[in-house]
Structure formats: structure tokens, C-alpha cells
Structure 1
Amino acid sequence: MIDKELLERADKDYYNLLETAGKRGADASEQMKSLNKQMLEKNFTMKGKPFPTFLRPLFVDSKYKNPLRSICNNIMSSIEKVSDLFFKNKEYHHFFEMDPIDHELAMIDPHYPRRVIQARLDAFLYKDGSIKFLEFNCDSPSGMGWYDQLLRLYDALPIMKDFRKSYNAVFEPLLPPFYKMLRSKNKQFGNKDDAVFAIVCKNDSTIRNDVQLIIEHINEKEKHKAIFADPRDFSYDGKTLRVGDTPVGLIYRDAIQDFTDHLDEVKPVLNAFRDGKVCFINPFASRVGGLKCVLSFMTDDRTKHLFSNDEMKTIRETIPWTRFMRQEKTNYEGETIDLVEYVRKNKNLFVLKPNAGYGGFGVTIGHEVDQKHWDSVVETTQKEKWVVQEFVEIPQDNFPIFEPGLKWKMKNVNINFFAFDGQFGGGFTRISDGSIINVHQGGGLIPICYV
């Protein structure tokens, strides 16, 4: 399925080009310094520093895009089906760990099809083309503006110009399909085509610069009016939602906590959403699809009837064995086990994750902690809602670092696929020294380069 020889050759040629870059002009260190300088100038920053990146993309066989598209689309349709359990059967509510206010907000009808409109599917992609999905961000996946800015900066690097003399190297931006999705949902909702889009996060959010880049793309590239707003900036008269004097037809939001932490101050937005007066993306219902227990429902034989044959094939091949951590008997590797006790005694096989966690916080990898620590986390899982997931090997690759001269270091890699309205929309790659690969945990962002 994947042309391994092509990818090995591309890696080797890129390595050699970077090592010898100084013979043709700016050496690798100078190119990295220039990249960081441009990132600062363009506000491509997190907490005032250039967004962490490395002078090497992840190469993916271009012929693999169609299989990736099919896999991601099957995962998205499966997420919707698991979410239906929550919305159509009260017996499942306790699995999904929803606070009363989150539950109330999740029940608001968005007045368009689907619940998970935008998602990021976090996975490991191995050299042989196999994929393992670890979790899904269905609430407020960010980074699209940053990523497209990074692609523009990468495109201008001398190393990429040299590489393209031998390869048809393609970067695929995320914002064009993202905007296409906004237009589609706006139309399904019943708004006019020229409805103003508000891209919303808190003023002091760590993704504020990412949001600004999204706004600039919509205004400048798509020629559609988009504005920034904090969730507390709106007014509502029962008919029209506004920011200042500007009527707003569509809101693209950040995290649900931006609203639930300030309920009194965001009443205009919530009331307009309840009244069906604003197209709201993602609807709060999407959060259900991002809970870790969704993967448990996908891999449990008791719920396999929910899925089509194609979906079930994708699930079997790409989703690691996952279970809700509770006292029960279940199947693992063909045998019946007492779940909690088996997990306690076999820590090296498993990872424990808070059901509603995000940003990698709280994730505990069994083989990286001692038995005492593991036992303590297992006890926590019996008081709170957690899942256990089979540990899967973390893929690694070689990346250039500067100390100050050019060196190469193996780092852990995950690939993050975006889906817009249930359809594959591209992705980016994150790398880290640690096993938990997340920007909030010190990870870096690099492009996917199709060759």
C-alpha cells in the first residue's frame, strides 16, 4: 500500500541536502534561524516564543491519500454512531461523564445534520502504512491557522526548493476545506451566503494567534467577512446576535470551558443558540464524540452491531483495544479477564487515560511508572471515569536539531488527521521526546509532505 522504497529514498535525499546545504547557500542552521525569525514576525508563537518546529517534514506517499481518506471517513461515521447511544438512550448517559451543564448544552439542537462537525483524529502512522488511532478531539481542535502559516514558511525554505528539484513535494493546507465546511453548514442552517462569521475564543487564550490567522484567511483569501470575538462580547435582542453593531450568523468556537466557566456573561450566545438564531460550530453535542470511552464502544463486541462492515474492518485494524475502567469481566486477546485486576497486574501492556481528559494531562503509561504509582492510578480509576487502552509502540523518526551545529535525533511522532463535516480534510504532525506527544506537553509541529 505504501511505497517504502520511495519514502526511504526521500528521507535519505533530504538528509543529504540538509547536511550539504551550506555548499549551495544558507546552511541548515541559518535556515532554522530564519524560520524562527519569520515565525516571530508573523505572530506564529505560543506564550511569546516561536511555535516549536523542526527543519524537516514528515514524508507520506501521495498514493496513500485515498486510503487515508477512506479510513478517516469510516472513523468519523463510527463516532457519530457511538454518539447516538448518548442522545437516543438514557441508559448510556453515565458512560459519557457529562456535567449537568455540559449535558444541557449538548442537548441543544444545532439545526443542521451531524453532531461532530470538526474533529482531529490523533494517530500513529507506521512505516508499513498501518495506523493506530489513540483518541479523538471532537470539541475544539485547533492549530489550523498556525499550520497553514507554517506551510507558507516551509515553501520558501531553500531546502524545500532543492528537494523539489527531484521530488513532486506537496503540502496541503487545512483552511480551504475548513472554510468550505463553514459555508456548507451555514447554508444548511438557513443563513444567507454573506452571513458574518465570528471566530471565537477568550481574549487571553493560548490559541489567540491561531484564531487570528484563521480570520485573516477567511477575510483575505475567501473574501468573506469574519471577525474575532470573545464569548463574552455578544449581545442578543431575541432576534439577532451581535458583536457591537455587527450581526453574526455563524460562530466557530474554541473550548466548551470558554462558555461554561462564564455562564452569566455568555448568556447572549447561549440563548441565541437555543433559539436557533445562530449557526454554532462545533455544537456542544460534539464533545460526546471526543470522550475516550468512544473507543471502548468501538472495540467491544457488545456494540459491534452499530457499525457497517467497512466501519468494523477499519475499527479492527486501527483502534487499539480500549475499555471503560470498571469492575467487570471482558475479553482480551481471546480470553475472559477480570478487567481491573488484570490491568493492575499487567501494567506494561496498558495505558490509563481520564475519560474526559485533554492535552495529554493525566495519561499514565504503564511501562514508564513503577508498580506503586500504577496501583495508585488504578485506584483513582475506580473513583472517577477513566479508560484503559492497550499500549501500542510509538513510531520514531530522525529530526535535525542544532546544538548549535546540525545533529540528528530520534523523536516520537504522531500524525493528526482533520475531518470537516465527516470528511477527511488533511492533517499535520507533532513530534516530541516524551511518550505523550502534545503541544501542551512540549511537542513540536511539522508539516506533512506528500511525495
Structure 2
Amino acid sequence: MEKHQEARLNSIDQEEYGLFAQELINTCIISDPWVEGKERFRLEPIILTQGEHQRFCQAITSVGTAYAEMIHLVYNDEDLLERSFYLTPWQKVMWISSGGAWHGIARADAFVLNDGSIRICELNADTPSGEPEAVILNKLRHRFHPDLIDPNAEFEEKFLRMIRSSYRATFGEHVPDQPTVGIIYPTDIPEDLSMIELYRTWLENQNWKVVLGSPYNLTRAPDGTLRMFGQRIHIALRHYKTDWWGEREPVLFHDEEYLDPDPLDEPLQAILGADVDGRVAVVNPFGAILAQNKLAMALMHKEIHRFSNESQDAIRAYIPPTFRLCDVDSNTLLRERECWVLKTDFGCEGDEVLIGRITPAETWERIVTDAIPERWIAQEYFHAAEDENGMVPNYGLFLIGGKAGGIFARFSSASTDYRAVTVPTFVET
């Protein structure tokens, strides 16, 4: 853990944190108040002004609109798809089967610069996380700040409204009031179990039946319905990454192959077939394969003239200049290392992301020369504003059903990863 981060955490009142940790565990949602023996949470909140909060809401809404326009452009221009993205055969099947549907819930990673402007370095439009931390942390700490507004107080309501809307869009208005929801997630990976439990709690509180499982538990019945463990599901709540469903290919010429490179062809045929036939509502839809792909940001800048004036303004204002690696001279990247950030097409925050100014020169040179250029982007580096301890806040801005949905703030001293410190976020009245 970085020294600034550790110094900040060491200032926590251990008795107060112990009481908070027990309260957190008692929610039966979040069970890990510590990570690597260090506190995951800071009890002192970030307090936004009304103006700051409104600017965040405007940023995520505008960027969401730009992504929707990008999806529409690509869906109606096969040549644009072919020259802008590198999709495997099964990834292309996911995209085509989606009919251009891509969104239910997403989260942008936003940063504030010293001049107060906002930059969004990526949009997790596929399997966004952070919902439990955003909602529960604020809920537990709000009573200590009753004069402030909890911007996540309506998160659950917005999420359920989006799920109902997706359900009705698939089946029509005259549908059972109590559908069965299958939550599909990687059952062998524990890091997002708190989110799965939160979703299950919200859905079961609506008297909906919830079934949990992985893609391997999906089958398609003779009547065309989608089944999980033999039970029909009306809504497939997908928290299994689109790039994990398809073929998994290396991002470096000399990279080792994945241990599990093969596509999940049988589960994919089951869920995509049911989706295309209108027998299941999928959230997020498989069109997220493009919105999640970081090459989308390069397309936005390269084809910016094809967007509406409003989205052109949003792209320029919020999304740092982004280029496909194959469109950037490698000598420029080597010479100007501190000016760039390299990201793979489906790499997560802190994973397959290299920030030039904190990456050793030899590592940077190795990646630049070994990267499969169609699978990477180069994004201009920006310097985010730091707090008095040298920590940088990452504002996770949720987009739910195309509208601002909530905020999830974390502090780190370098790139944001699982060791970042999560803090409550409130707004002045």
C-alpha cells in the first residue's frame, strides 16, 4: 500500500472503526471492512456542493448519451464496426444478437482536475461494481451528517425501475408482476459477492424469485425459454463479463495463452437465442460488448464529426483524447512516456492499464513493442487534483437507465484498484 494511503488510514480512530466494521458486517451484504489487514473505508465523508454534484450528473448523463449515439452509429454501419473494433467471432455474434441494446446500468470513472473540470477515463458499461459500497456506506454514515443529502438514497428505486423497464420492453406491459430473475455471475470469484447479495435482497424484497448461478447453469428448454438449474428465468441479470463469454485471446504477441481460452458456446447459444426470440430480458444487454470496449473512446474522437453537437461537446469536455494504438507512432509513445496511458480493450481499472509516468521505462518499452496494436488504446494523461495528503479521489458516477443514478468515491495515490479507500459521499443542502 502506498505511503500516503497508509498515513491516511493510520489516522482512523480504531475504536470507532471497529464499531463501524461490526455494523457493516451486520448488514449481511459487505463482509470485508479490511483488505490486506488495512481499513477499506474512511468514515470522514467527501462533501460536494450542489454545483459540484450537478456537474457530475451532467457529465455522466452527457457521456451516456454520447455512448448511445456511438452504439447507434456502429450498429448501422458495418464498415465502421470492422475498422474500429477487433472482435472475435463470438463477440461479433453477441453484438449482432443484441440488436444494438447495450445499457441498463453503468459506472464511469471520473476525476476532477485542478481547474475544476471533469475527466472520465472510462465507462464500465458491462458489469459495473461498487453498488454496495455506494449505497450501504452512505446509509450507515448519513445519520452522523443529517444536514447533508445522500445522493444514493434513491439508488435502489432507480435500479428496480430500470429492471422493470427492461422486463416490460421484452415481454410487453401485460406480464406477471413477480418474474423470476437469474443472476449470472462468476461463482468461483468472491470479490463481487456483496453486489450479488445486494441485488438479490432488493429483488426478493419485491417478492420476485431469484436464482443464482453461472453461465454453465444455463440451458434452453424445448419451448424456447431460458432455464437456470431447470427453472425458467424471465430476467437474466448478467454480471459475467462479455469478453469472458467469448474467445479469450492474448493482448501481447509474446503473452501466454489463457488457461480457459474457449468460448462458452453452449451457454451463449442458450441465452442469445432466448434473447433474440424475446423469451428473456437480459440486463446488461450483450451490446455492452462494444460500450465496454475501450476502443469505443478512440472511435468517438476519430469520428467525432458524426455525433450530435451536444455529444461532440461532451466528448471534447470529458473524454481525454484517445487513439487506437495502431494509429499512434510507437516512437512518440516511447519518447513521451509520461504523457500517455495505455489500456487494453477489455482491461479493468488497475489491470492491463499502464500509466506512463509511474511505469518503469523498461516495462513501458516492452509493452509498447509487444502489444498487439488492434487490442490497445493510447489515452492522453491528465493530472487529477489531489487532496492535502496527496490522495486522488476517483468518483464512480453511476448511470441507470440513461440517467444519473448515484456516486461511489474512492481515494488512491496511484491507479485505482481494490486497495483504494472508499469514502461516504454527501451533498450540501
TM normalised by structure 1 equals: 0.79
Q: Indicate whether 1:130 and 2:122 are aligned.
A: no
SS in 2 for 1:70: helix
State which structure, 1 or 2, has the greater radius of gyration over its C-alpha atoms: 1
Q: After TM superposition, give the deviation of residue 287 of structure 1 in Å.
A: 1.8
Counterpart of 2:279 in structure 1: which amino acid? K
Relative distance call for 1:60 and 1:249 in structure 2 (3 A) is same
Q: After TM superposition, give the deviation of residue 278 of structure 1 in Å.
A: 0.3
* Aligned equivalent of 1:447: 424
Q: CA RMSD in A?
A: 2.8
Counterpart of 2:325 in structure 1: which amino acid? M
Percent pairwise identity = 20
* Aligned equivalent of 2:306: 306
Q: After TM superposition, give the deviation of residue 276 of structure 1 in Å.
A: 2.3
Q: Which residue, out of 231, 234, 245, partners 1:249?
A: 234
Relative distance call for 1:185 and 1:200 in structure 2 (3 A) is same
Q: After TM superposition, give the deviation of residue 418 of structure 1 in Å.
A: 1.0
SS in 2 for 1:298: helix
| Counterpart mapping for 1:206-355 below 5 A | 206-220=191-205, 222-237=206-221, 238-244=223-229, 246-254=231-239, 255-257=241-243, 259-260=245-246, 261-264=263-266, 267-300=269-302, 303-327=303-327, 339-355=329-345
Relative distance call for 1:234 and 1:378 in structure 2 (3 A) is closer
CA distance in 1, matches of 2:370, 2:44: 40
SS in 2 for 1:393: coil
Q: Indicate whether 1:186 and 2:167 are aligned.
A: yes
Q: Indicate whether 1:436 and 2:424 are aligned.
A: no
Q: After TM superposition, give the deviation of residue 117 of structure 1 in Å.
A: 2.6
| Counterpart mapping for 1:100-139 below 5 A | 100-109=89-98, 114-126=101-113, 129-139=116-126
Relative distance call for 1:262 and 1:114 in structure 2 (3 A) is closer
CA distance in 1, matches of 2:244, 2:337: 36
CA distance in 2, matches of 1:293, 1:243: 33
Counterpart of 2:117 in structure 1: which amino acid? S
Q: Which has the higher contact order (CA 8 A, sep 6+)?
A: 2
Q: Indicate whether 1:143 and 2:139 are aligned.
A: no
CA distance in 2, matches of 1:231, 1:375: 38
Q: After TM superposition, give the deviation of residue 217 of structure 1 in Å.
A: 1.6
Relative distance call for 1:96 and 1:77 in structure 2 (3 A) is same
* Aligned equivalent of 2:398: 418
How many residues align? The count is 392
CA distance in 1, matches of 2:349, 2:178: 35
CA contact (8 A) 1:343 1:350 kept: yes
CA contact (8 A) 2:134 2:407 kept: no
Gap regions ≥5 residues in structure 2:
1-7, 247-262
SS in 1 for 2:391: strand
Q: Which residue, out of 85, 91, 113, partners 2:79?
A: 91
Q: After TM superposition, give the deviation of residue 270 of structure 1 in Å.
A: 3.6
Counterpart of 1:366 in structure 2: which amino acid? G
CA distance in 1, matches of 2:83, 2:327: 15
TM normalised by structure 2 equals: 0.82
CA contact (8 A) 1:97 1:356 kept: no
CA contact (8 A) 2:349 2:417 kept: yes
Q: Indicate whether 1:59 and 2:44 are aligned.
A: no
Counterpart of 1:291 in structure 2: which amino acid? N
CA distance in 1, matches of 2:336, 2:271: 48
SS in 1 for 2:387: strand
Counterpart of 2:405 in structure 1: which amino acid? G
Q: Which runs of 4+ in 1 moved over 6 A?
A: none
CA distance in 1, matches of 2:346, 2:268: 23
* Aligned equivalent of 2:30: 44
Q: After TM superposition, give the deviation of residue 396 of structure 1 in Å.
A: 2.2
Gap regions ≥5 residues in structure 1:
1-14, 20-26, 329-338, 399-408
CA contact (8 A) 2:94 2:287 kept: yes
CA distance in 1, matches of 2:427, 2:381: 28
CA contact (8 A) 2:397 2:407 kept: yes
Counterpart of 1:354 in structure 2: which amino acid? T
Relative distance call for 1:310 and 1:47 in structure 2 (3 A) is same
Relative distance call for 1:170 and 1:274 in structure 2 (3 A) is closer
SS in 2 for 1:359: coil
CA distance in 1, matches of 2:98, 2:151: 37
Counterpart of 1:202 in structure 2: which amino acid? P
* Aligned equivalent of 2:16: 31
SS in 1 for 2:377: strand
Q: Bigger shift: 340-349 or 234-243?
A: 234-243
CA distance in 2, matches of 1:98, 1:448: 38
Q: After TM superposition, give the deviation of residue 86 of structure 1 in Å.
A: 3.3
Counterpart of 2:415 in structure 1: which amino acid? I
CA distance in 2, matches of 1:122, 1:202: 23
CA contact (8 A) 2:125 2:292 kept: yes
Q: After TM superposition, give the deviation of residue 364 of structure 1 in Å.
A: 1.5
CA contact (8 A) 1:272 1:278 kept: yes
